[in-house]
Chains A and B, each alone.
Chain A
Amino acid sequence: MFGRPIIQLKGLGKEFKTANGPVLALKDINLDIEQGEIFGIIGISGAGKSTLVRCINLLELPTSGQVIFEGENLAALSVTRQRKARQSMGMIFQQFNLLAQRNVLRNVCFPLEIAGVPREAARERAMELLRLVGLDERAKAYPAQLSGGQKQRVAIARAIATNPKVLLCDEATSALDPNTTKSILELLKQINRNLGITVIVITHEMTVIEAICDRVAIIDQSQIAEVGKVSDIFSEPKSKIGRQLIMGDAVTNVKFDHSRKIRITFDGRSSTEPVIANMILASKVPLNIMYAATRDIGGTAVGQMIVQLPEDEIDANRAINYLKSAKVPFEEVSGDDV
């Protein structure tokens, strides 16, 4: 499906020396990232994912193993050629990291200045990029005058200004609200498809992986727990951490053994209203459907359903409160009634 590997990590390890002795941040990481794909790296905080992405462009020097970019071992290159290689890898950050004293246009010009592009050509290229990310009208604004989503768009324009082959995204949407996150992810996907830039996404949010990634590596306790196509890992996570990340903590820990049951009656609500799904989404509480008999009669739902609430008192109350606020008729039933 994709081309040859553009980045290969071979036995990559990173050890930090701290006052309390050495800390192992990465251990024997082996990954092939293919040209043109969107590759996700997910893990909980402290798993080592930020260190991993910084090892790819040598912001952190690996203490063992190799980073091979387009067939060349980066660590073996001279400092000057390492800097050149970095210009082929754009990077965006959780905190955007724009230059606060430069306006939007000059922020996008910045990597071009570093690469030695003449002033006028740099400005033209920067305007073109600002049009691409939809911010050409804010070219003269300063970062402090922009919203978080706009700042990240400027950062993306800046990161791809030098026509890099790879874009590294370090928790790029973690400081943004869900809607802005969606639009930034769409922009990343668009850049990947239209410009053919390989994108590496570091995140702790499964939704980000789900939304745009082709393949994903799950990193846990400094090691790769599993790696594969997103669809495969989602349908059948093999590692414990994979299950935890995909199902979430809530599901794995919920007990239903001796908990309360309620009968929800459907007495003429619109059959298109997803009552149970809304209840689960709004209260963030899993439910166990024990019995259901509903029919769609001329567009209205008629019938009843018995669901079991989680044992946890607080979770159960959250679900009940949703039903009350949504004015869904229900009654609590004892175990024998069912």
Chain B
Amino acid sequence: MTFSPQIIEMIKTGIWETLYMTFASSALSYLIGIPLGIILVVSDKDGIYPFPVLQKVLGLAINLLRSVPFMILLIMVLPLTRMIVGTTLGSKAVVPPLVIAASPYIARMVESSFKEVDAGVIEAAKSMGASTFQIIWKVLLPEAKPSLLVGAAISVTTILGYSAMAGFVGGGGLGTIAINYGYYRYQTDMMLVTVAILVIIVQIIQEVGMKLAKISDKRIR
């Protein structure tokens, strides 16, 4: 199976668009997800700054967002997308719905990473007179770092998977190519190639994430 230069060019653009969507959305989602995750843990009734009402409301909102299927969300937020990026087409237009879908997911991942931090260590920090902010900044975040990196590998690959769905609304990227050529035009070879590239990208992200987590973890050695 050989591809014309135009096709190869198109696949290259697809890879770029996919990476752009994935990493731009991941970065923005983490910007929102990490603070939300921190609030979830800290405001828990057994947390370092109990605020159960806030915790319950936030948890509920996150669950609500997480239960909406991504395809539906993609269409539901179209007006918002237009408002933010000025268009509802192309890779840029997929970023806002991706961020809205991924942030609550990441908030939960971050929450579970923080919950792994030994309660005894937090107690020790409290016994030294650490403030809530100092505990978050100097204990929770650094102690949870390896677990956060593992979570990041999982989250980014999940976001990559979501971004491929954007093909159905003309979002661009490898997903669009797979759907337009492989699905609508029955060009199986095109579909296989794009899927293979997606598999490779997922592998790389996952491996790099796990490696980083391992290198940064001082518990095993």
Q: Is the CB of B143 within 8 A of A57?
A: no
- Within the complex, which residue of A101, A114, A145 is in contact with B143, where a contact is CB–CB below 8 Å? A101
A90 to B146, CA, bound (A): 29
Cβ-based interface call for B124 (8 A): yes
Q: Mark A144-164, 1 if CB is under 8 A from B, else 0.
A: 110000000001000000100
Residues of B within 8 A of A103 (CB): 218
Shortest Cβ gap from B199 to chain A (Å): 33
Residues of B within 8 A of A114 (CB): 125, 128-131, 134, 138
Residues of A within 8 A of B127 (CB): 57, 59, 86, 89-91, 168
Residues of B within 8 A of A90 (CB): 127-128
Q: Mark A81-115, 1 if CB is under 8 A from B, else 0.
A: 01111110111010101111111000000110111
Cβ-based interface call for B189 (8 A): no
- Within the complex, which residue of B126, B129, B131, B143 is in contact with A99, where a contact is CB–CB below 8 Å? B143
A91 to B129, CA, bound (A): 11
Q: Is the CB of B218 within 8 A of A144?
A: yes
Cβ-based interface call for B207 (8 A): no
A21 to B193, CA, bound (A): 63
- Within the complex, which residue of B129, B217, B219 is in contact with A84, where a contact is CB–CB below 8 Å? B129
Q: Is the CB of B129 within 8 A of A98?
A: no
Residues of B within 8 A of A97 (CB): 118, 120-121, 123-124
Shortest Cβ gap from A101 to chain B (Å): 5
Q: Is the CB of B129 within 8 A of A145?
A: no
A90 to B142, CA, bound (A): 22
Residues of B within 8 A of A101 (CB): 142-143, 145-146, 216-219
Cβ-based interface call for B201 (8 A): no
Cβ-based interface call for B28 (8 A): no
Residue from A93, A99, A103, A144 having most chain B Cβ neighbours under 10 A: A99
Chain B interface size range: 20 to 34
A87 to B142, CA, bound (A): 22
| Number of residues on chain A facing chain B (CB within 8 A) | 32
Residues of A within 8 A of B121 (CB): 97-100
Shortest Cβ gap from A56 to chain B (Å): 10
Cβ-based interface call for B215 (8 A): no
A229 to B133, CA, bound (A): 43
Q: Is the CB of B138 within 8 A of A59?
A: no
Q: Is the CB of B125 within 8 A of A59?
A: no
Cβ-based interface call for B64 (8 A): no
Known contacts A97-B118, A97-B121, A59 near B126 by CB under 8 Å? yes
Cβ-based interface call for A142 (8 A): yes
- Within the complex, which residue of B128, B138, B217, B218 is in contact with A86, where a contact is CB–CB below 8 Å? B128
Residues of A within 8 A of B120 (CB): 93, 95, 97
Cβ-based interface call for B205 (8 A): no
Shortest Cβ gap from A299 to chain B (Å): 55
Name A87's closest neighbour in chain B (CB-CB): B129
Q: Which of A15-73 contact B (CB under 8 A)?
A: 57, 59
Listed A/B pairs (29) with beta-carbon separation below 8 Å: A59-B126, A83-B130, A84-B129, A86-B126, A86-B129, A89-B127, A91-B124, A93-B120, A93-B123, A95-B120, A97-B121, A99-B121, A99-B142, A99-B143, A100-B218, A100-B219, A101-B143, A101-B216, A101-B218, A101-B219, A102-B218, A110-B128, A111-B128, A113-B138, A114-B125, A114-B131, A142-B219, A144-B219, A168-B127
Identify the 6 closest CB pairs spanning chains A and B, nearest first. Answer: A86-B129, A83-B129, A97-B124, A91-B127, A97-B120, A111-B128
B interface residue numbers (CB < 8 A to A)? 118, 120-121, 123-131, 134, 138-139, 142-143, 145-146, 216-221
Contacts A86-B129, A99-B121 aside, 10 further interface pairs with beta carbons under 8 A come to: A87-B128, A91-B124, A91-B127, A99-B142, A100-B121, A100-B218, A102-B142, A110-B128, A114-B125, A142-B218
